């Protein structure tokens, strides 16, 4: 008999349901008796004992469904150890609920912040297995996260749409792509949609180089330029600021996001009409793409296998095309950045894409 | 022998190429000899004699291609009669180029502004046939415009994506849909994606009614609310302002668009987390949907037929499922609004959708 | 208090769920108390009293879901009046179950056969409201049926895919499109995807004209030809046969469908490589397109209104862009064919499309 | 100065254009002078000196375009060394044309057969660089081929569509997926679409196990079963036959493909209604998915780099997430099969998928 708690935490993304279905199908197909407790809205459900008993039926037909049937919430790691507004010790509450329900294990699906908390619970003695969920693909210890490829598809489709308008009007178009502090999503969507300039956080850009590329294209008869900008992209000047100075600068900024400031600078320097599009939250929604459905199902199956084997304290990851088990303590608190020297960056440059560096 | 000038003007949209292909295929399949002059970037090409001779080959394979192979530009009707920066009389320049090339007819694809100018050229004695292009579906004299259904699809897909995130996080989500001053696009995309509240320019909204609907849903256990807002939506208070007062108010507003102000008001009054998504220009880009491809091809074929018959001064439109010829003077300068009493609005209300009225 | 029975019959299609949701939302938003009995698997559920009580929750989130939550089956009209294998009088059984449950009305969603049975039940004294479901768009009394536009999209996408292969290999490609005995689906998908030849049941084709078109394209340097063939397409020779002769001929035919015989004939006469693709059942599956979601929701809302008004014996249809009520006796047993003189056929011919006539 | 010949051979697939664009962009962005000769319709163009001089402009805007701008044809390796119908020695002809045009290198895009011929040309002394194109993913020496992920998407979409129909009608549905003699495509599309049974060539199936799974599902209340069958799937009995016996059996078979025989057997043994769908050539057509666009572009860039470095005799492949150079002699003539022990097969089984073994 296995009693499993399950929760999804952080921003939602595609294939969360597919991954959970994978875990549950694997458990139910085993000889083991299984009880599944679904905690609602992330860690909050575990803290306040808000859960539902789930059966195989609840996981049927959700392979292709976006979002998460358990609901999710952002519970920042920074505050998880603080007492809540009623003075409740949240970590203690989670432990108590875990023991009260006599759980054998918690299955936790989430991104960076989620993994820090998961590791904390592991350190506190709870059995934990995690799954790497994020459209940002920034989790350390795995080559790939689910949600990423689906988000690439949506961002690419957005830039594809913009392409026809940009070409028809002869404009400079900036499309702001998600990805938090890393450039994976922007780079892939930019390459897939034939962006001319790609700006990512890991490669601070020189505005003059950006403008130079636009003007080069003008000279070669290309009427338009498409710029894919990561939401975390940063200019060379800003990259030199201290964290404090940067924060101050951003607070005083009236632009809703990084793209608008960039647009203004390009417009001023070139006199060209520049437009900004921000696909925003659409990037984390909708049905997962086939790649993510297969990938999340496989990770989920392996998580199920870990539980059946009684192996806890691991994130299920993906390394060199193999499903692997990564110790949670190795994952927590680390970001997987795109290296400016990565092979994919070099190939993008061979194709003539400018990174503004 | 027919010598045809062709141009696309105003914001680009889907199926412009399909429509032009329809005209050209029809002409080339006739016994008539045909010469086609493609003016580049809208009326600008006609003013400054910037054109290319085109053959059937140029129109091959473009049925499914977004944008316009001729390029386009916004040349506001308000200024078309003013001399340009070098003192050139633009209307005279267009007439001269028309006569210099010995054109039999101009085929003009565009929306409202474009039709005003087209009608002006007709009044000046030029032969003109026009095609109703706009994602807004606001052209008088036709039940449908091409681009509209494709834009509905894109806006619907965006709201579909947002749906899973809204449901997972239990949030209020506002999606701002294009449509200029009319609500057709927002209403259709909103109904197609199951939006709970739809705000359109033709039905000024009462913020308290909007909030009431959100709270009703809360009470009924719906964790989230999706609001589809037309970019031209307006509150009851603002609808009472004079044009001048409204303009002043909007100039002093720091919000990038109508949705952000709405979000702020809802957030203040309900304490709920409200997010805004603006799909923006993606709505006019990408490959036209099958409906638009067929529709634009049919309109183009009829335009070709008009030219072969020497019938000028018409917009090709669509009425009661028939392709019709509408005198240009009846079209120019009029907008086709969504009536608050329209059957589709009543049906939306039966379905439980709130218009905030 | 209203007690409503509901069933879906015949081949499934897109937007069945959207339509049912429209009916139910309208009823539940009214002041009337409502009980909903969902009969499973079409008329079979009504005959054998196989049903479920349904609530608003069952219809939540199904707007975008393909198929039918009630299940469906083909119960041919021809046999509905015959006793079943146990000697049960099926019509009597339906009546008894209707009265036993004290139903006020049956809401029946289906195509041609379904409407004949619905009309029979009306004649037997039951209150019936119907909704026009079919990807074939062949229902008399309505300009449009739901499912149609979604099927057009899928068939178009299939031909789009084939297009690139045909062009790359320089082949003749036949794509067989559904549509039963009418050509609406094939004509629209063919026009949307730029098919060169479109063969529909209403316009018997001359194989020599088909070949002539292929050879013309060859001469003009087009390496490939795309033929969209309706599953019910027929050659001029076969059209002259009596029903009996035709049946005999088809029984002796070893080809799985009409396209393969056509392929063989073209291959023999031209020596060209001809390939056949049959998208088949995919055309009736998957999420409904936005057009169908809006359209089916509107029809459903009107059906709800009919019930609230106690108006029975109607199919809800669509005429000249208005939702209308069509007496069931006018609908039953009639097919809506594509006229060879229809404006859309003429426009297709202007575009250079051959119908082989 | 580099003079490059380029050709695409074998069945077309998605991202061929993206890959060629990658090669050409890389060459044109270098300091080297470059001339590009595009041979038409595969090796045939090289044999009969049918080519076009191409410039950067020809490769602009083709990133998202399916098919191949060069055309392709199947020239079976078995016959490439035989003289043609006029007695021409084809291999000699290719060599002569290569030397006549003073080419520095041939860039050849293709699958298995293509690579055998490419290796033959290498052995004959020509400089060759190849790119791994196939939806089958069966090329030895690379973890991935372009076209594969796009084909997975199309096959998955087809099964998704079938899913709603199968569920609505309570049927057994067989979807036949491409993939030649290997199971990669079927396995991935089957897992992505939630197929219940997946039959691949590498794991011969036992018809009784297949039926057992269907009946198990019946017992558990699942009204339908989806079977994804590879076009090369084989039963245990047939797998025991000698090649000659198998050939004889297949020649005497009247079924158009493997799925129809399977359907018949299931229908006979279970009495269930079984339907077959064959998406066929649609699986290799249409716009490449973002994954393939990025992947093919990267491979193309690396091929360009090889040429600039004067490194010949390699296929550009992908190993452990790195772009690699694989000696052609290691690739030619070998197939990359799916191992029955592969981790992905084990995970599929954990999820409850039956392989009929």
- The number of angstroms, rounded, from the C-alpha of D25 to the middle of its chain's C-alpha atoms is 25
Q: Output A178 or B248, whichever has higher pLDDT.
A: A178
- Separation in Å, CA of A299 to nearest CA in chain B: 21
Which helix H or strand E contains D24, and what residues bound it?
Answer: helix D16-28
CATH architecture label of A151-283+340-350:
3-Layer(aba) Sandwich (3.40)
Catalytic residue list of C: 136
For D294, the closest of A64, A192, A350 (CB atoms) is A192
Within 8 A of B168 by CB-CB distance, chain A residues are: 8, 12, 16, 67-68, 71-72
**B294–C192 CB contact, under 8 Å:** yes
CATH architecture label of C2-147+285-331:
3-Layer(aba) Sandwich (3.40)
pLDDT reported for residue B248: 87
pLDDT reported for residue B84: 93
User: For C149-284+340-350, which CATH superfamily applies?
Assistant: Phosphofructokinase domain (3.40.50.460)
pLDDT reported for residue A251: 79
The Cα–Cα gap between C196 and C348 comes to 10
Mean pLDDT of chain B: 95
For B302, the closest of C149, C322, C347 (CB atoms) is C347
Q: Which residues contact A55 (CB under 8 A, 6 or more apart)?
A: A36
Which of A153, A161, A259 is the best substitution to test chain B (most B C-beta atoms within 10 A)?
A161
Residues on chain C bordering chain D, Cβ-to-Cβ distance under 8 angstroms = 8, 11-12, 14, 16, 41, 65-68, 71-73, 154, 157-158, 160-165, 167-170, 173, 223, 254, 256, 275-286
Whether B150-284+340-350 and B2-147+287-331 are alike in CATH topology: the answer is yes
Which of B183, B301, B303 is the best substitution to test chain C (most C C-beta atoms within 10 A)?
B301
Domain D150-284+340-350, CATH among 1.20.1640.10, 3.30.450.20, 3.40.50.460, 3.40.50.10860 = 3.40.50.460
Within 8 A of B71 by CB-CB distance, chain A residues are: 167-170, 223
- Separation in Å, CA of B344 to nearest CA in chain C: 7
Q: Which parts of C38-169 fold into alpha helices (H)?
A: 43-47, 77-80, 90-100, 112-123, 148-169
pLDDT reported for residue B215: 95
pLDDT reported for residue B246: 87
Within 8 A of B169 by CB-CB distance, chain A residues are: 11-12, 71-73
- How is residue A298 annotated by DSSP? H
Residues of chain A with pLDDT under 70: 254
pLDDT reported for residue C125: 98
Q: Among the listed ranges A122-131, B41-50, C68-77, C208-217, which one has the minimum average pLDDT value? A: C68-77
Which residue matches tokens 């938003």? Answer: C29
What digits encode the pLDDT tens for the residues D114-163? 999 999 999 999 999 999 999 999 999 999 999 999 999 999 999 999 99
pLDDT reported for residue D246: 86
**B154–A163 CB contact, under 8 Å:** no
Catalytic residue list of B: 136
pLDDT reported for residue A257: 79
Q: Against a cut of 0.95, is the pTM above it?
A: yes
Q: What is the mean pLDDT of residues B46-52?
A: 97
Q: Which parts of A102-147 fold into alpha helices (H)?
A: 112-123
Under CATH, what is the fold of the domain D2-147+287-331?
A: Rossmann fold (3.40.50)
Which chain A residue is nearest to residue B75, measuring alpha carbons? A169
**A25–D352 CB contact, under 8 Å:** yes
Q: Specify whether the CB–CB gap between D349 and D357 falls below 8 A.
A: no
Q: What is the mean pLDDT of residues C109-119?
A: 96
Mean pLDDT of chain C: 95
Which helix H or strand E contains A227, and what residues bound it?
Answer: strand A225-230
Query: Exposed/middle/buried for B247, CB within 10 Å: 0-12, 13-18, 19+?
Result: exposed
- Domain segments of chain C: what residues? 2-147+285-331, 149-284+340-350
What digits encode the pLDDT tens for the residues D40-49? 999 999 999 9
Within 8 A of D168 by CB-CB distance, chain C residues are: 8, 12, 16, 67-68, 71-72
Whether the per-residue pLDDT at C55 is higher than 90: the answer is yes
For B162, the closest of A162, A276, A285 (CB atoms) is A285
Which of A273, A281, A289 is the best substitution to test chain B (most B C-beta atoms within 10 A)?
A281
Quick one: three-class SS letters along B35-48?
A: EEEEECCCHHHHHC
pLDDT reported for residue C181: 95
Q: What is the mean pLDDT of residues B36-65?
A: 96
Which of B135, B155, B161, B289 is the best substitution to test chain A (most A C-beta atoms within 10 A)?
B161
**C143–B321 CB contact, under 8 Å:** yes
What sign has the CA pseudo-torsion D210, D214, D220, D222?
Answer: positive
Strands across the sheet with D172-177, in order? Answer: D197-199, D225-230, D172-177, D274-277
For A291, the closest of D25, D28, D291 (CB atoms) is D291
What digits encode the pLDDT tens for the residues B254-310? 677 789 999 999 999 999 989 999 999 999 999 999 999 999 999 999 999 999 999
Q: Pairing between strand A128-134 and A146-147?
A: parallel
**D64–A29 CB contact, under 8 Å:** no
Residues on chain B bordering chain C, Cβ-to-Cβ distance under 8 angstroms = 22, 25-26, 28-29, 63-64, 143, 149, 152-153, 156, 160, 188-189, 191-194, 289-291, 293-294, 297-298, 300-302, 304-305, 320-323, 343-344, 347-348, 350-352
Listing DSSP states for A190-201 in one string gives HHHTT-SEEE-T
CB atoms inside a 10 Å sphere around CB B137 = 27
Q: Which two tokens stand for residue C88?
A: 């049960």
Query: Exposed/middle/buried for A79, CB within 10 Å: 0-12, 13-18, 19+?
Result: exposed
The Cα–Cα gap between D32 and C179 comes to 57
**Nearest Cα to Cα of residue C56 among C89, C34, C85, C82:** C34
Within 8 A of D189 by CB-CB distance, chain A residues are: 290
**C351–B25 CB contact, under 8 Å:** yes
Neighbours of chain B (3+ CB pairs under 8 A): A, C
Residues on chain A bordering chain B, Cβ-to-Cβ distance under 8 angstroms = 8, 11-12, 14, 16, 41, 65-68, 71-73, 154, 157-158, 160-165, 167-170, 173, 223, 254, 256, 275-286
pLDDT reported for residue C223: 86
**Nearest Cα to Cα of residue D282 among C167, C278, A157:** C278
**Which of D12, D104, D136, D138 is flagged as catalytic?**
D136
For D350, the closest of A194, A301, A352 (CB atoms) is A301
pLDDT reported for residue A75: 83
Assign A213 to helix, strand or coil: helix
What digits encode the pLDDT tens for the residues D87-100? 999 999 999 999 99
């Amino acid at each position: 008999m296995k009693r499993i708690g399950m929760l999804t935490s952080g921003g939602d993304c595609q294939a969360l349901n597919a991954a959970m279905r994978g875990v549950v199908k694997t458990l139910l197909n085993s000889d083991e008796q299984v009880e599944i407790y679904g905690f609602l809205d992330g860690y909050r459900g575990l803290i306040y004992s808000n859960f539902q008993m789930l059966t195989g039926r609840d996981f049927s037909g959700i392979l292709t469904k976006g979002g998460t049937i358990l609901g999710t919430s952002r519970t920042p790691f920074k505050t998880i150890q603080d007492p809540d507004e009623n003075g409740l010790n949240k970590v203690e509450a989670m432990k108590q609920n875990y023991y009260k329900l006599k759980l054998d294990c918690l299955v936790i699906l989430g991104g960076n912040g989620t993994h820090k908390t998961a590791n904390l619970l592991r350190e506190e003695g709870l059995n934990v297995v995690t799954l790497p969920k994020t459209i940002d693909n920034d989790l350390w210890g795995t080559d790939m996260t689910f949600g990423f490829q689906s988000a690439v598809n949506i961002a690419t489709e957005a830039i594809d749409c913009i392409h026809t308008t940009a070409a028809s009007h002869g404009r400079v178009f900036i499309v702001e792509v998600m990805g938090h502090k890393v450039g994976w999503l922007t780079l892939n969507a930019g390459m897939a949609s034939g962006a001319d300039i790609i700006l990512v956080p890991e490669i601070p850009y020189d505005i003059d180089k950006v403008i130079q590329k636009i003007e080069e294209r003008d000279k070669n008869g290309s009427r338009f330029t498409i710029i894919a900008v990561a939401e975390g992209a940063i200019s060379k000047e800003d990259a030199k600021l201290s964290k404090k100075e940067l924060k101050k600068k951003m607070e005083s900024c009236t632009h809703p996001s990084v793209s608008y400031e960039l647009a203004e600078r390009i417009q001023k320097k070139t006199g060209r009409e520049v437009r900004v599009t921000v696909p925003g939250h659409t990037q984390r929604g909708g049905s997962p793409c086939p790649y993510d459905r297969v990938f999340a199902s496989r990770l989920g199956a392996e998580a199920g296998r870990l539980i059946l084997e009684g192996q806890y304290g691991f994130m299920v990851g993906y390394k060199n095309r193999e499903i692997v088990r990564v110790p949670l303590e190795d994952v927590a608190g680390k970001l997987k950045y795109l290296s400016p020297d990565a092979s994919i960056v070099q190939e993008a440059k061979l194709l003539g894409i400018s990174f503004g560096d």
